[in-house]
């Protein structure tokens, strides 16, 4: 081969190698760029999901507080009206909360397989547990007024799961269940003081019995969960029992004092119970 031909061949080979390297580098750069774009989309998607769940949880919390407020009006009414009021609350206010749950929370946990769903649960379920605990408190209060008992964790799970849909399920943890029951005792304390203010003693013993049952459950559970939050709730529960006993003692003292004037007794107790529930908030 002539010298000039060798030079031409070498130049062609060098150009071809440079072109191949450039193409390879460009391809690698594109792959890296696509990988970063996929990571960015995943991070952005997770952030959007987090914000949606936090907003839904806040809405559930707000609706649950409104439901509790409505329930505090029910037991002050004549017994014949209470059943209808409770039915209306369940059909309207509770249904509204369930609509938020199924349309904005449960749908966020629809995934292709159990492994992916479990990983997502571990990452995102914590953003809805605040609203879930408030919901448990509200539904527990409704259950007590309707059936005079504590709601079970299985019943709560069924209420938050559609029969035909076993995919969109968020497990209710014992910690949130116990937290909701502990918060319920605060509402029961307010109810007891209001009833004493109305000179209605018929449900006081049952309320004290129920709060005491929750206290025993918490005392048994705290060593297992090592939960500072449950410890605080237990202290609040014990204060609630003290407030009920103080109010009941006040009632007995005033009843002896106003033995011949029941209307005066009622006015004194209404004032005392109103002041007591204000200070307990």
The tens digit of pLDDT for each residue in 104-137 reads: 998 887 665 566 566 666 677 788 889 999 999 9
Better pLDDT: 226 or 59: 59
Report whether 181 contacts 264 (CB < 8 A). no
Q: Residue 12: which pLDDT band, with cuts at 50, 70 and 90?
A: very low
Residue 72: its pLDDT value, please? 95
Q: Is the pLDDT of residue 56 over 70?
A: yes
Q: CB under 8 Å to 6, separation ≥6 — which residues?
A: none
Residue with tokens 């497990």: 171
CA distance 195 to 124: 41
Q: Is the pLDDT of residue 6 over 60?
A: no
Where on the phi/psi map is residue 202: left (φ > 0), alpha (ψ -120 to 50), or beta?
alpha
Q: Residue 180: which pLDDT band, with cuts at 50, 70 and 90?
A: very high
Once rounded to an integer, what is the mean pLDDT over residues 218-222?
A: 92
DSSP run (H or E) holding 222 = helix 204-225
CA distance 137 to 61: 10
Residue 7: its pLDDT value, please? 42
CA distance 271 to 250: 12
Q: For 16-32, write each residue's pLDDT tens digit.
A: 555 655 665 667 666 76
Q: What percent of the chain has pLDDT over 70?
A: 71
Q: Is the pLDDT of residue 10 over 50?
A: no
Q: For 128-171, write each residue's pLDDT tens digit.
A: 889 999 999 999 999 999 999 999 999 998 898 876 655 556 77
Residue 126: its pLDDT value, please? 84
Mean per-residue pLDDT of the chain: 81
Residue 3: its pLDDT value, please? 41
Question: Domain spanning 31-172 has what CATH number?
Answer: 1.20.58.190
CA distance 232 to 236: 6
Once rounded to an integer, what is the mean pLDDT over residues 203-227?
A: 92
Residues constituting the chain:
281
Residue 227: its pLDDT value, please? 86
Q: Residue 80: which pLDDT band, with cuts at 50, 70 and 90?
A: confident
Residue 36: its pLDDT value, please? 61
């Amino acid at each position: 081969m002539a010298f000039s031909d060798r030079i031409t061949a070498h130049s062609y080979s060098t150009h071809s190698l440079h072109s191949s390297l450039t193409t390879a580098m460009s391809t690698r750069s594109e792959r890296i760029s696509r990988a970063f774009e996929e990571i960015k989309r995943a991070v952005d998607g997770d952030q959007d999901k987090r914000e949606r769940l936090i907003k839904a949880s806040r809405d559930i919390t707000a609706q649950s507080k409104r439901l509790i407020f409505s329930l505090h009006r029910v037991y002050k009414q004549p017994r014949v009206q209470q059943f209808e009021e409770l039915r209306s609350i369940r059909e309207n206010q509770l249904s509204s909360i369930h609509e938020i749950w199924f349309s904005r929370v449960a749908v966020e946990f629809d995934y292709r397989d159990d492994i992916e769903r479990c990983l997502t649960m571990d990452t995102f379920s914590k953003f809805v547990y605040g609203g879930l605990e408030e919901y448990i408190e509200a539904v527990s209060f409704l259950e007590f007024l309707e059936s005079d008992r504590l709601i079970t964790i299985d019943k709560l799970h069924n209420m938050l799961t559609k029969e035909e849909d076993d995919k969109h399920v968020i497990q209710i943890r014992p910690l949130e269940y116990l937290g909701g029951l502990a918060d319920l005792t605060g509402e029961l304390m307010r109810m007891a003081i209001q009833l004493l203010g109305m000179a209605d003693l018929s449900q006081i013993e049952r309320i004290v019995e129920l709060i005491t049952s929750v206290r025993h459950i918490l005392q048994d559970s705290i060593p297992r969960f090592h939960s500072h939050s449950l410890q605080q709730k237990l202290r609040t529960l014990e204060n609630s029992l003290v407030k009920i006993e103080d109010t009941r003692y006040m009632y007995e003292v005033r009843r002896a004092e106003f033995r011949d004037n029941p209307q005066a007794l009622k006015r004194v107790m209404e004032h005392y119970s109103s002041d007591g529930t204000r200070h307990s908030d």
